[in-house]
Amino acid sequence: MNTSATQKMDIQKVESSRIGQVDFDNLTFGSTFSDHMFECDYKDGAWQNPTIRPYGNLSISPGAKVFHYGQAVFEGMKAYKDDQGKIWLFRPEENFERINKSSKRMAIPEFPHDLFFEALTTLVKMDKEWVKSGLGNSLYIRPFVMATQVGVSASPSTDYKFMILTAPAQAYYTGDVKVIVADHYSRSANGGVGAAKAAGNYGAQFYPTNLAREKGFQQVIWTDDSEHKYLEEAGTMNVFFRINDTLLTAPVSDRILDGVTRKSVIDLAKHNNIDVDVRPVLVSELVEAAKNGSLKEIFGAGTAAVISPVSAFSHKDVVYELTKPEDSFSTRFKKELMDIQHNIGEDPYGWRFEVL
């Protein structure tokens, strides 16, 4: 692979920071960006001109292929600052591997490992004051790639732009969520791009999610595309079900994203001697467990929300309420994850990555 890993990065600093204009106590997730951003272009078969510059608008042709054929993938990561002022990432190698896996599925050239980490750590160090300490605070990191070749022929682009944006963040969801189990719309299909973080996956979810919100629910638990018999993901998160004291979750596949938080929850559960059953989970099984009282918890797991408990689900217009147990798995896992991320607790797994 031709790379620009040996090229010198061009660093352009802001004349004055915008940080003083930001109310960090009232952030809307993903809408306030820090001072700098990274960009790198793929042209003539190589990644070139790696640059960190002040955050700002791009100039791009309306004929760029990203607008016409959706060749775009992204990742979601976070940086955390502990009470001593050190900054940490959480399992960044997983995000690097997944964005290249997503890129490959979308016929986008893979990005070089060394350049990815140089760009990522340099950017976070430059905007270190935007990373606030305290549980729940973080710097959300959004690497993404898009097709920039001009032309509307239905073929893969020859040119791409790789970027990293960062945004200060607080908790993504506050409180528990109510969900609808899908019985018509699907997130993805066998042989499709459900396992990739392709931009179009998420755009296609908005309409059925809006329908759910009109009925008073915040998210959708997606089901398989053919029979809607199997439970797959919850909104933009992987989903777990606790039946009695066993934790169930669907296996990854063409349709289901291999979530970093999902992997971490499974490892935490095993470390806590909790039975984990990774297998296809039937909708009928969930409904029966809700009826007989063996369904103790449902929760989503993802980078933005970390752990998001579900207080009720609806299927075929029947609503099943859940009461969080005193020995809640979701509460335990969220605390253990956040303690690791914020360098409060021990990290026996080697998940923390020190930036500064």
- In the chain, CATH 3.30.470.10 covers 10-169
Of 344, 342, 308, whose CA–CA distance to 89 is shortest?
Answer: 342
Q: What's the pLDDT score for residue 195?
A: 93
Q: What is the average pLDDT score of the chain?
A: 95
How far apart CA 348 and CA 355 sit, in angstroms, is 19
- β-partners of residue 92 are none
Mean pLDDT on 328-340: 96
Q: What is the pTM of this model?
A: 0.94
How far apart CA 180 and CA 140 sit, in angstroms, is 28
219 has pLDDT over 90: yes
Burial of 115 (0-12, 13-18, 19+ CB in 10 A): buried
Of 166, 220, 155, whose CA–CA distance to 188 is shortest?
Answer: 220
> What percentage of the chain has pLDDT greater than the value 90?
94
Strand, helix or coil at 74?
strand
- Per residue in 246-298, pLDDT (tens digit) is 999 999 999 999 999 999 999 999 999 999 999 999 999 999 999 999 999 99
Q: What's the pLDDT score for residue 230?
A: 97
Q: How confident is the model at residue 3 (pLDDT cuts 50, 70, 90)?
A: very low
168 has pLDDT over 70: yes
- Per residue in 121-161, pLDDT (tens digit) is 999 999 999 999 999 899 999 999 999 999 999 999 999 99
How far apart CA 305 and CA 296 sit, in angstroms, is 20
Fold for the domain defined by 10-169: D-amino Acid Aminotransferase; Chain A, domain 1 (3.30.470)
- In the chain, CATH 3.20.10.10 covers 177-341
Q: How confident is the model at residue 305 (pLDDT cuts 50, 70, 90)?
A: confident
- Taking the domain 177-341, which CATH number applies? 3.20.10.10
Q: What angle do CA 317, 321, 326 make, to 5 degrees?
A: 160
- Per residue in 85-94, pLDDT (tens digit) is 999 999 999 9
Mean pLDDT on 65-80: 97
- Per residue in 16-39, pLDDT (tens digit) is 999 999 999 999 999 999 999 999
